Amino acid sequence: MAKIAPQTARGLHVERVAVTDAELAELGVDLTAFPGATSADFKRYLALSDGGWFEVVKHQPTLTSVSRKKAALLGPIHLVSEGLHLA
């Protein structure tokens, strides 16, 4: 029987972006609340919940949210007509 190679699913990809120490300080995050954590353990990305799309910053090992703010209505999807002004 032939082996089937694994494939990556195509579609939307949400990239997790690194957060700096300065950004964490601005968010009021106390690293002592996360023993042994560094700023490399926190990532910023878009997440969909029952309230819509949010830009979140989470501690990746525990997935604890340290910041959550409303994002664009369609999240990572940008329409071609976005920003178009008709006279």
pLDDT score at 42: 97
Q: Is the pLDDT of residue 2 over 90?
A: no
Beta bridge partner(s), residue 46: 55
CB 17 within 8 A of CB 45: yes
Q: Is the pLDDT of residue 12 over 80?
A: no
pLDDT score at 5: 66
For the stretch 27-77, pLDDT in tens is: 999 999 999 999 999 999 999 999 999 999 999 999 999 999 999 888 888
> What is the value of pTM for the model shown?
0.75
